[in-house]
Amino acid sequence: MKERLCTCTPENIMDYTEKEIIELSKSLSTPEYSVPLKVKLLIIKRMYEIYGFSLSNDLLLALLVEVKQQMILAPAGGCKTTSSQIKLILLKIFWSKMYGRHLTSSECLCLVYNAENRHQMDKKHLDLLAPLSLHGFISFSEGNPSYVNSGITSHTLHSFCKYWISIYAEELKLSGYTVLEEGNALTFLSSAVNKIRKANPNTKIVVKMDRLKSLYDLVWGLNLDYADIGKSNELLLDSINAIGLLPNQIVDIFKTYDITKKFFKKYDFTDMLTIMDKLLAREDVRERMHSLYTCVVVDEIQDFTPLMMCILKKIVGPETRLLAIGDEDQSIYAFRGADVDNAVRFTEHFPESKVFQLTVNRRCKNNILDAATKVIGLNENRFAKTLVAEKEGGNVTLCPYIDDNDQMSCFIAKLREEKRETIFNSVACVREKIYGQPLTFSLFLYNIPFYTLNVSRFYQHEGFKSFLEIMNLLWKPTKENWRNLYKVVNIKKDDWFRYIDYDEKRQKVNGFPDKNSLWELRFEPFVKYSGLEEALKELYQISKSINTYGCCDYIDYVLELFKKNYWNTRLSMEMIEFSEEVFNWINQIFKKDIIYPALLREYIEKLDFMTMNQKSHTGIAVATMHALKGLEFQKVYMLYMENSIFPAFHFIDLKDYSQKMISTLKEAENRLAYVAMTRAIEELTLFYRSNDPSVYVDIISKKEERKYEKIESMMIFSNRKVW
């Protein structure tokens, strides 16, 4: 087994006395930065007394030590934001005593991972200063001996780059340039793909734009360039293979995309980083930043890409105080180019730095942390540590299910046992976005409020959307609705779009024959399609009586035509998840003895409530595991814990990867499971398939009794209401 990396925090730090911690701090501190440690100890203890926080020995050591460059590894639930801001406040308090002047807000740069964290960091800093001011410990009045500036300069790395690009815009020849938003970036890429198609008419190019954009970001995030596409980087090669284009085709598309951006005077979020990296190659720019930013606090260092790390190293000058906060166990964005070695090998990036480890989890109760520790303990590329829960207790429940329907039944049954306020502080999480569809349908059917974080909802399923388009055509055969006729009768899409002169790019019908003739279509090229005339007659009768007869009288016929003439063909071209289940969802909502307009109104009213819940984050959260980073809930439900789904070890083993890459990807899966599990405060529940349990279920239950629970299946597709 690979030897674990160690930090400056002794493994038995919790057994140290105050005197021993002071002596250790003195030996670790850089002499020119040191302050009277006994005085600092008294100040730290007084601050924590005012806050009402517990002060563990590992945290005390990290706060006492004074070095130029420092990384604090804070576990999930380890109060990393609080710790980093207290460290910064201490620096502000002692700065005037060390250097005879006060630190200003513009000198204190805090780099966070996303915009939401930026506001949290600002608020946290003020929230920590306010009680100190109320107790007379510090003052916000200049001239007062206890004066401390109340501000910081917080940025995401992207907003930081954007700010400096605007300052040097003229020199960079970027005057008048604006940011290209993500949606428009996909449009620009699509335009680039179309240009390549026209230039290569004999080459079939089929590609998903979001995957192409992810690859573009990955290339530059890994600090590579177009010449590296198709070369030895395994992560890059895997992404290229998933897209299905040749490397030279991808390079041509990316170069055309860059030209398009330049033509429209745009730069995207990846450009912000690459432009900034080139700008920082100038010595005068680096010196300007070194003189401006006295201290730099970096949050989530483990999520930095190689390009981001390169920028950070140029921002930090010879005298800059650097404090990095992170946790190698929570590095889950490798698919974006994030490198866990930013944390693991931090001292190689910053040779003068020292690394300290916090081990107390203040969020999860003991049994939950114990289960999560078993999973993350599988990893070797991490620091040696023994994680400790501050709170005792906690429930870990393992719920087996037979099939997907049984899983949803068990899940709904669990929720029906809970109080409303408990459900509203819970999350149901899945490995992939697509698994949110059956989950949101079950919640919708039972009128259980929910909001989503990066998952697909059931009504976003292609089959569900297509069915509604067909029903709306029958209800209101307007000019625009007629374009969907090919989805329900035996007509080729291209023939139909030519006939109605449909502009797909503008989504506009330009030609529209007489409405009655559309129900007959007794002319070329449609006479060759078998069954067309009979189907149109039946659909015409349904359309005429749709305001009279209930949906249950004709929905089976419409679905049969939809499957035969459109859906089965779609499935032959592309694998679509829940391709059969979607018809069950449709039947549960629409197969009723109620006219379609009334059912549609009821459905839209429910969607309106769902929209309100989404905006206010009301109800149970439904999220991907990746989207849970930085969040916490009373109860966490992990669904689809099947070995064929999560972890994706079987998929990784099928790839022609090096042993190092296989190990890297498997450890990434373990970290994702650890992050999901450590969102739970009180209770963690794993739903697993009884004949294909996730390896994590076996690991959690190994060598000790765990609470196994089998909930009796219930008919979840009833009309009973919860709320």
Indicate if the pLDDT at residue 98 is higher than 50.
yes
CA dist list (Å): 590 to 401, 412, 538: 28, 21, 19
Q: What value does the mean pLDDT take over residues 600-626?
A: 96
What are the C-alpha distances in Å from 119 to residues 125, 237, 428?
A: 10, 37, 26
Mind listing the pLDDT tens digit for each residue in 234-255?
878 878 887 878 888 899 999 9
Average pLDDT over residues 571-600: 91
pLDDT-above-90 percentage for the chain? 71
Phi and psi at residue 69, in whole multiples of 5°? Answer: -130, 130
Identify the bridge partners of residue 450 per DSSP, sorted by sequence position: 620
DSSP conformation class of 530: T
Which amino acid, residue 712? Answer: E
Model confidence at 714, in pLDDT bands (50, 70, 90)?
A: very low
Distance, in Å, from the CA atom of 674 to the CA atom of 520, rounded to the nearest integer, reads 60
The better pLDDT of the pair 240, 505 is held by 240
What pLDDT is stored for residue 234 in this prediction? 81
Cα angle 690, 693, 697; round to 5: 120
Distances in Å between the Cα of 367 and the Cα atoms of 77, 79, 206, 319, 359 are 14, 19, 49, 44, 16
- pTM for this prediction: 0.87
Tens digits of per-residue pLDDT, 308-367?
999 999 999 999 999 999 999 999 998 888 989 889 999 999 999 999 999 999 999 999
Asked whether 666 and 649 are in contact (CB, 8 A), the reply is: yes
Kindly report the average pLDDT of the chain as a whole number. 90
With b for 16 or more beta-carbon neighbours within 10 A and e for fewer, the 465-496 pattern comes to: ebbbbbbbbbbebeeebbbbbbbbbbbeeeeb
Residue 72 is given by DSSP the state E
Any idea which residue has 């989207």 for tokens?
Answer: 627
Per-residue pLDDT at 721: 34
Alpha helices in 244-356 (DSSP H): 247-263, 269-279, 283-292, 306-315, 341-344, 346-349
Q: Can you name the residues that pair with 110 across neighbouring β-strands?
A: 154, 297
State the distance between the two ends of the chain, measured CA to CA, in whole angstroms.
53
Phi-psi region of 178 (alpha: psi -120 to 50; beta: other; left: phi over 0): beta
As a whole number of Å, the CA-based R_g of the chain is 30
Report which of 367, 365, 552, 582 is spatially closest to residue 462, judged by C-alpha positions: 582
Three-state SS annotation for 290-322? HHHCCEEEECCHHHCCHHHHHHHHHHCCCCCEE
pLDDT in the model for residue 45: 96
CA distance 66 to 60: 12
Residue 366: CB partners within 8 Å, gap ≥ 6?
Answer: 389, 391, 392, 393, 394
Burial class (CB in 10 A: 0-12, 13-18, 19+), 80: buried
Parallel/antiparallel/unpaired status of strands 153-156 and 108-112: parallel
